Structure 1
């Protein structure tokens, strides 16, 4: 009797132990599902990227995801952040992927650049580029509008012909950078400025506005460019610069676990062109609104 009782007790203990393991397994499975619904959205540390990352975040939250915002990451390390599994997705630029990350040769066709980075990121980093937006935050040159009208300058070809009459407000590195003055002069010819001085990037529009210079390097979606009465963005008519189309980069494993994320974010990208992004940037950088408010207002407008 004693042996039978001991055997029954052993079986009972074993059953309890097994049930405990099943319960633990179920808890772990529940936890994993919860983690799958939490998406870590990253952003670089400038206005446009913050706005777009917030748009992604709002759309994901609307679709039922928990979002952890990991914003204001330096552009020099954000690629490492996603490959090190510190974030799940962030807004990137096709030209940056091509030149800065992949170190590949210059391409100027937007579709070719996109297809190249999409293939290489998938192969090298297990990352997916979702659809790219028409918004192009590329390199450009800005001239005072009154000077543009006076001298008939609307393209960089026009600019080169009149360079000796113009004061250039440089940001220093632009004079030496491969995609700066050297690239311009190789394509358009030598730029013999009337004068060239180095100014802080944050002051360049004030410098033009105060008639201290006539031309300055810029990015094509900077908020100040909404003021076309004062500033004119010149056409890169010989396509020196690659396109920097805005597109989300996502970890493959996150996309495999949550394939609907692609449609959610692609719907946002489809609404973003250069004019729209420039206007959103202007609300923050010129009108001094908070980027969260600007993103929310825009997101609600496209629903």
Structure 2
């Protein structure tokens, strides 16, 4: 197993993902303020919650924002920002000071050759990694949204595909994923180095699709434009389109738990208590259900889905 090349997903790693629908709760102005002291949140300064440019992140941002508002903190939102190349600097300069993150992806941003695989290992490594930027993480949730190599049920049945290594059965094939997938350690390089798939030129043709496992990626897989796609494990399309997530016995893709990332200067006990309570309740099944409400036929707003979930869990009153 070639762990040196393993990286977590870089969620929303291009600005192109911003073309996704911007859900309710967004603000366009830059609410940058001056540097806060260590009791900023407790003293009434505004907590600015950000999100990446895809629906799940915006739903999580709404959950954070509404819970903190209910806890008595002054909260603004700045959603649909873009990749970590934008969100990390925004955290550093105060444009935002809190964002829902993915622990494996975040660690990959700081250490592209990280070898931690489990939630506990990744969370432990993150503490020191983000501290260098005057940031901190709180408790991670059980909820996990991971990249996955996905095929249609028909392709799986016809070619006896159950795990990623079985993709050797269908070379040559076309793989559809976000543009960075061609170079990420868990992407095309990892497919070759960890599973021995794509060792010959022409075995794997890469088709960049900039919606990060969204409708365009799903459509390309279902209509046969690609035979394999990178689709996240909380995608409602896995069930609705009868898709197959290939097993990853070599742990090519690390833990990807939801975790709050915040700037040191906005920390307060009240903020930590509210966010840790969310992490204690949030499961992967919850993420799937939340995404289905917002992205499925109901077309609920991120704000409404967040309110309903928080109320159901007794986290707001």
Q: State the TM bucket, normalised to the shorter chain.
A: 0.7 to 0.9
Q: What SS does the corresponding residue of 1:222 show, helix, strand or coil?
A: coil
Q: Distance in 1 between matches of 2:41 and 2:234?
A: 39
Question: Residues 148 and 266 from structure 1, CA distance in 2 versus in 1: closer, same or farther, beyond 3 angstroms?
Answer: same
Rate the CA distance shift 1:251–1:169 in 2: closer, same or farther, 3 A. closer
| Matching residue within 224, 230, 233 for 1:217 | 230
How far off its partner does 1:115 sit?
Answer: 0.4
| 1:181 aligns with one of 188, 192, 199 | 188
* 1:91 equivalent among 85, 88, 100: 100
Please name the residue that 1:110 is paired with.
119
What is aligned with 1:10?
Answer: none
RMSD across aligned positions (CA): 2.5
What SS does structure 2 have at the residue aligned with 1:73?
A: coil
Deviations 1:95-147 (CA, angstroms, capped at 9, x unpaired): 2221113445342222111101112323x122221001122222211110232
| CA-CA distance at 1:289 after TM superposition | 2.6
TM-score (structure 1 length as normaliser): 0.78
Residue aligning to 1:65: 73
Unaligned runs of 5+ in 2: 1-39
Q: CA deviation at 1:68?
A: 1.2
Partner of 1:164: 171
C-alpha distance 33-55 of structure 1, shift in aligned 2 (>3 A): closer
In terms of mean alpha carbon deviation, does 101-110 or 230-239 score higher?
101-110
Most deviating of 216-225 and 194-203? 194-203
Q: Is the 8 A contact 2:147 2:231 kept in 1?
A: yes
The Cα of 1:277 is off from its aligned counterpart by 1.1
Q: Are the counterparts in 1 of residues 62 and 306 from structure 2 also a CA contact under 8 Å?
A: yes
Residue 56 (structure 1) aligns with: 64
Contact 2:107/2:129, CA 8 A, preserved across alignment: no
Matched residue, 1:242: 254
Q: Which has the larger radius of gyration?
A: 1
Q: Are 1:170 and 1:196, in contact at CA under 8 Å, matched by a contact in 2? A: no
TM-score of the aligned structures, taking structure 2 as reference length: 0.75
Instruction: Give the C-alpha shift of residue 251 in structure 1.
Output: 2.2
Counting only pairs closer than 5 Å after superposition, residues 8-157 of structure 1 correspond to structure 2 as 36=44, 38-75=46-83, 76-122=85-131, 124-157=132-165
Which structure carries more helix by proportion? Answer: 1
Cα deviations by residue, 1:213-247 (Å, 9 ceiling, x for unpaired)? 432122222332232x5211112111112222110
1:201/1:234 CA distance change after superposition, 3 Å? farther
Contact 1:226/1:279, CA 8 A, preserved across alignment:
no
* 1:163-200 Cα deviation digits (max 9, x unpaired): 23755445554234333111111111133787746253
Cα pair 1:141 1:216 within 8 Å, conserved: yes
| Number of the residue aligned with 2:287 | 277
Secondary structure of the structure 1 residue equivalent to 2:123: helix
Which structure carries more relative contact order (alpha carbon 8 Å, separation 6+)? Answer: 2
SS in 2 for 1:232: strand
SS across alignment from 1:68:
strand
- Matched residues, number: 267
